[in-house]
Amino acid sequence: MTAELQPPTDETTEPTARPQRIDLRRIVIPAAAVITIAAVAAASFLAVDNHRIRAREQARDSALQAACTYAPTLARYDAKDLDTYFAAVLAGATGSWKTEFDATSKDLRDVLTQGQVVSTVGDVTCAIESADETSATAVAVINQTITSLGTKGAPAPGQLSVSMSLRKDADHWLVSEVSTPALSR
């Protein structure tokens, strides 16, 4: 019989702890999924926010264009062709402004015709005070020259300042209120 040598056992020695292997896949895959979901959520939020900002900027630009187009319409008229003037003003109007202008047009026609008034427009400066996707407030300063019986046919230069409220109706901006600071005091 041969005796096999066995290493001596020391009962006081603890068994050697075997290092545990960490399965990185259990950490990396869920972490990558969380990071991917967070990135997609952040990108979606930024895209929606960017779209909202662009929509507001486009609405503001469209409202400014509408105000700058409408301002000369208000200030350009000729007593000999008031039907064209009234039609143009009403075409760009809505709400209380349309009602008010339509109601006073007969009296305005009489005054402009009796005075043989002609108003031409020079430079127009416009600005937007506030705007969102469906409404805006604009200010316009219109350089105009008026000739009439009151000016004895001589051109009289002047400026007209107007504040306009605009409302988007389908794809068009229409003017819903007009006030002239000099007249509203």
CATH code of the domain containing 141: 3.10.450.540
CA gyration radius for the chain?
38
146 domain residue, yes or no: yes
pLDDT, mean of residues 28-34: 77
- Binning pLDDT at 50, 70 and 90, where does residue 185 land? very low
pLDDT in tens, 79-100: 999 999 999 999 999 999 999 9
5 domain residue, yes or no: no
Find the helix or strand (DSSP H, E) in which 152 lies: none
Please count the structural domains in the chain.
Answer: 1
DSSP class of residue 3?
P
pLDDT in tens, 125-173: 999 999 999 999 999 999 999 999 999 999 999 999 999 999 999 889 9
* pLDDT (0 to 100) of residue 40: 80
Provide the CA 100 distance to its chain's centre, in angstroms.
Answer: 26
8 A C-beta contact, residue 166 and residue 175: yes
Give the domain range for residue 85.
Answer: 25-184
85 domain residue, yes or no: yes
- Binning pLDDT at 50, 70 and 90, where does residue 72 land? very high
Rounded to an integer, what distance in angstroms lies between the CA atom of residue 144 and that of residue 158? Answer: 5
105 domain residue, yes or no: yes
Q: Where are the alpha helices (DSSP H) in 82-146?
A: 82-91, 95-114
pLDDT in tens, 108-131: 999 999 999 999 999 999 999 999
112 domain residue, yes or no: yes
Average confidence score pLDDT of the chain: 86
The length of the chain in residues reads 185
44 domain residue, yes or no: yes
